[in-house]
Amino acid sequence: MASLSFPTFPNIEKTYTALPNSFFQFTNPTPVSSPNVLLWNDDLAEEFLFDHWRKDDVVTAQFFSGSNLPEAIKPFAQAYAGHQFGHFTMLGDGRTIVMGEFQNRRGEWFDFQWKGSGRTKYSRNGDGRATISAMVREYIMSEAMAGLQIPTTRSLAVVKTGEPVLREEIQEGAVLTRVASSHIRVGTFEYAYQTLSLDELESLFRYTVNRHAPELMVTENPALSFLDFVMKRQVTLVTNWMRVGFIHGVMNTDNMSIAGETIDYGPCAFMNGYFGKRVFSSIDTNGRYAFANQMGIAQWNLACLTNSLLPLIDSNEETAIELAKSKLNELETWFQESYIRMLGEKIGFPNLTEKDLPLLRTLYQWMQDREADFTNTFLVLEGVYTPKDSIYEDSRWKDWVKDWREEKEKQGIREEDAIKLMRKSNPSFIPRNHLVEIALTNVRQGYMSVAEDLIKRSQNPYIREIDYDYGEEVPKGGDSNYQTFCGT
């Protein structure tokens, strides 16, 4: 194709490529035959000075499918490894390519990356491509996460390629533009620690700290401070997932971002009926990444990160291990405290303590026994939703609500304060599985409006309005047979 005239480009950087060559490879996306923009995120475009680019523009489709690039762009794929279902594996960007780093209006730098843009050095046996369904799904879920105000990578665009992708059936391909604070993963550190030199591990460490928390470089033990930083962000992140009923589904260490953003939307889903062992992913047959396991798995992953940082924590291995162990012990406490605080806020208690936990256990046990909807139950409790579901006539539910009221009174919590807390803790809208599936069926048939409506509703998920249809009456038996898939 003849070279295009691109709209003015914001400043672009590629600081990552100052790292040793072992961390990346310069790679261009593979051009596609007839790109067309399916989804374009106006708000995000505005935030990154891409606002004069348009959904219906030929140049936008060319660039965001990776088919035609201005000279200034030197894209690259990143190397990493990861523990997948507990086993160490060499990976790397098999179907994503970083276009570079762009600044938002506040002057902060973010990676922009094409996903589904063709093979790279790290593709192994994969085709480097992605289906329309998988990329629109990532767009819907990540933007819903942003709407919920939970740290996440964002989605700027989905461009269909006009080319078939062979999965279980043939689907059209698509390229998603993902925006992230960085794409450095726990698995990037494991890769450096396990396969590269100490100098290379140090380069990655310095780069990452400078990028995400430069102030840590002047602390007494920067590696330990960095660990502290990553741990705290993960505690916040996973606590938030537990708050809204989100199951990531594939919390391998390569899918855990150092910056603490939700990343790699593959088999993830929000659950309807509460069930601690809920798993949606077709390959998670042992329930390793089940809903209630997520805090434990985050700790396991952070132990992998800790291990990879040992030589930077102290040159004496024994000392390093001692320091690391005490940090990991703290982590356990942070998770526990953060989880308890979150549980309290969901029922309107600002200072829940361990001794109040039986109250929560009874509620969760009831929800599990009756497959009560995890989102709607808290709306019922707040008094803003009258469900059609008869389980709320249960004496166990009514008794629990009575206990909750009494305890609230005993602790001197004012009604309006409780409501205020519940309002900001409990979403009234999540992208429920049946809604996501309806949207994707439409997308595969060439209709975008259902997906667009869903994305729009997800932007305001804490809304409380009289007569608002919060509930999306959940199909009975809900989503217990729902299945999700990796890498589609």
Q: Could you list the residues known to form a binding site, using ranges.
A: 92, 94-95, 115, 127-128, 178, 185, 255, 264
Q: Please identify, using beta-carbon distances, which residue of 161 and 255 lies nearer to Mg ion.
A: 255
**Shortest Å, Cβ 254 to ligand AMP:** 6
Q: E strands within 315-457?
A: none
Binding residues for Mg(2+): 255, 264
**Shortest Å, Cβ 191 to ligand AMP:** 11
Helix (H) / strand (E) element for 363: namely helix 357-369
CA distance 179 to 259: 13
126 binds, among Mg ion, ligand AMP, none (CB under 5 to 8 A by kind): ligand AMP
Give 77's Cβ-side CA count (13 Å radius). Answer: 23
Helix (H) / strand (E) element for 102: namely strand 96-103
Q: Which residues pair with 269 in a beta bridge?
A: 247
Q: Name which of residues 239 to 268 contact ligand AMP (CB under 6 A).
A: 250, 254-255, 264, 266
Q: How many residues bind ligand AMP (CB under 6 A)?
A: 17
The reply on whether position 255 binds Mg ion by CB under 5 A is: yes
Give 355's DSSP letter: G
- Spot the catalytic one: 93, 228, 254, 373: 254
Q: Of the candidates 93, 111, 200, 264, which one interacts with Mg ion according to CB under 5 A?
A: 264
Q: Name which of residues 9 to 38 contact ligand AMP (CB under 6 A).
A: none
User: In 3-state terms, what secondary structure has residue 136?
Assistant: helix
Contact stretch for ligand AMP (CB under 6 A) within 119-127, 225-233, 280-288, 313-321:
119-127
75 binds, among Mg ion, ligand AMP, none (CB under 5 to 8 A by kind): none
Residue 254: active-site member: yes
* Residues whose CB falls within 8 Å of the CB of residue 121, separated by 6 or more in sequence, listed in order: 25, 27, 77, 92
Q: Please identify, using beta-carbon distances, which residue of 186 and 227 lies nearer to ligand AMP.
A: 186
| Amino acid identity at 216 | L
CA distance 200 to 20: 7
Contact stretch for ligand AMP (CB under 6 A) within 85-93, 325-333, 432-440, 477-485:
85-93
The reply on whether position 427 binds ligand AMP by CB under 6 A is: no
CA distance 272 to 284: 19
Q: Please identify, using beta-carbon distances, which residue of 152 and 255 lies nearer to Mg ion.
A: 255
Task: Fill in the per-residue mask, 89 to 118: x = in contact with ligand AMP (CB under 6 A), - = not in contact.
Answer: --xxxxx-----------------------
- Is 398 buried (19+), middle (13-18) or exposed (0-12) by CB count in 10 A? exposed
Per the CB < 8 A criterion, the answer to whether 61 and 109 are in contact is no
Sites of contact with ligand AMP (CB under 6 A): 91-95, 123, 126-129, 250, 254-255, 264, 266, 486-487
